[in-house]
Copies of this chain bind each other. A is one copy, B any other.
Amino acid sequence: MELGIIGLGKMGGNMAERLRVGGHKVVGFDFNADTVKKLTDAGSVGVNSLEDLVKNLAAPRAIWIMVPAGDPVDETIAKLKPFMQKGDTFIDGGNSNYKDSQRRYAELKPEGFNFVDVGTSGGVWGLAEGYSMMIGGDKEPVERLRPIFETLAPGKEQGWGHVGPAGAGHFVKMVHNGIEYGMMQAYAEGFSIMGHKTQMNLDLAQIAEIWRYGSVVRSWLLDLTADALQKNPKLEGLEAYVSDSGEGRWTVFEAIDLNVSAPVITESLIRRIRSREDNNFTDRMLAIMRNAFGGHAVKKD
């Protein structure tokens, strides 16, 4: 079928290609002319304006928005809307906050538009292995888009599903990322413990490779970790600095709002924040308190 895609970056570009290979007509727009050309060169339809994007699609249209979460999504919808018709569908496939998706649905629905939110996982591996998609929205547009999801997914009936009303797709993706934080932290702590057992001289890459088969902790993340450790066994040359992209903290906020205790996901976020704190004030205060009550020496800076 036909699909418009706005945003042809790392994610959007690969999705367009997977769809094209799967036999769909993709019309793509991006502010970056190079990525548009790349799309055209690959055999899809690259356009240079939102108006052209819409014109190249037959109603009822479906346009997949793959831009950074937040204002860019609202701005894209606002610019796109004048060219769209009742019955057309906006798809937000980015990492939006689910509350924004609920709001966007509530705004677009009364105007006759469909809004579908797709929490998309798969990263740089999606082109080859398919994307995991958690979908929120009304049944009708989701069903209409089934051929798209079946092609993007790892398998026709695998790795995607309509999980609930508008917002549910991004909600489930948010929690997915919260779990991801916890799993990553668990692995990283374990490997760190083993790396510090210097008298055993353990080979972390070997251990990761062993665990990939038959162990309880085998996973795709472990597969990637084993590969990374083989290439760089001591993880040299990189800073101990970990970013977070929003979903982790949203998960923490949501857990608290729902009165669900989620200490491990929360602690995983806190540790990422900690990785970015230089000259930590909290620790300096602890040092000075110890000095104040016990006369314990402090380290001078």
Chain A positions within 8 Å of B, measured between CB atoms, are 10, 121-126, 129-134, 153-155, 158-161, 163-165, 167-168, 171-172, 175-197, 200-203, 206-207, 209-222, 224-225, 227-228, 232, 235-243, 249, 251-256, 258-277, 279-296, 298-301
> Knowing A168-B200, A196-B260, A267-B267 touch, does A216 contact B293 (C-beta < 8 A)?
yes
Could you tell me if B255 and A253 are in contact, using CB atoms closer than 8 angstroms? no
Q: Which residue of B is nearest A177, CB measured?
A: B216
Q: How far is the CB of A240 from chain B (nearest CB, A)?
A: 4
Could you tell me if B175 and A193 are in contact, using CB atoms closer than 8 angstroms? yes
User: A260 CA to B170 CA in the complex, in Å?
Assistant: 26
18 contacts between A and B (CB under 8 A): A121-B214, A129-B214, A163-B210, A168-B202, A178-B186, A185-B186, A186-B268, A193-B262, A197-B258, A218-B220, A225-B289, A227-B292, A239-B298, A242-B287, A259-B276, A264-B264, A264-B268, A274-B274
Could you tell me if B287 and A239 are in contact, using CB atoms closer than 8 angstroms? yes
Q: How far is the CB of A275 from chain B (nearest CB, A)?
A: 4
Q: Please give me the 9 A-B residue pairs with the lowest Cβ-Cβ distance, nearest first.
A: A182-B186, A219-B219, A159-B213, A132-B214, A132-B215, A240-B283, A239-B299, A179-B190, A159-B214
* A179: chain B residues within 8 A (beta carbon): 186-187, 189-190, 217
Q: How far is the CB of A260 from chain B (nearest CB, A)?
A: 5
User: A61 CA to B43 CA in the complex, in Å?
Assistant: 67
User: A211 CA to B194 CA in the complex, in Å?
Assistant: 29
> Knowing A134-B210, A218-B219 touch, does A189 contact B293 (C-beta < 8 A)?
no
User: A103 CA to B238 CA in the complex, in Å?
Assistant: 38
Could you tell me if B282 and A176 are in contact, using CB atoms closer than 8 angstroms? no
Could you tell me if B212 and A194 are in contact, using CB atoms closer than 8 angstroms? no
Could you tell me if B182 and A264 are in contact, using CB atoms closer than 8 angstroms? yes
Could you tell me if B294 and A124 are in contact, using CB atoms closer than 8 angstroms? yes
* A164: chain B residues within 8 A (beta carbon): 200-202
Q: Which residue of B is nearest A165, CB measured?
A: B200
* A299: chain B residues within 8 A (beta carbon): 238-239, 241
Q: Which of B217, B256, B284 contacts A239 (CB 8 A)?
A: B284
Q: Which of B190, B191, B283 contacts A275 (CB 8 A)?
A: B283
Could you tell me if B194 and A262 are in contact, using CB atoms closer than 8 angstroms? no
Could you tell me if A285 and B225 are in contact, using CB atoms closer than 8 angstroms? yes
Q: Which residue of B is nearest A239, CB measured?
A: B299
* A279: chain B residues within 8 A (beta carbon): 240
> Knowing A182-B182, A213-B158, A282-B189 touch, does A258 contact B196 (C-beta < 8 A)?
yes
Could you tell me if B284 and A189 are in contact, using CB atoms closer than 8 angstroms? no
Q: How far is the CB of A208 from chain B (nearest CB, A)?
A: 10
Could you tell me if A296 and B243 are in contact, using CB atoms closer than 8 angstroms? yes
Q: How far is the CB of A251 from chain B (nearest CB, A)?
A: 7
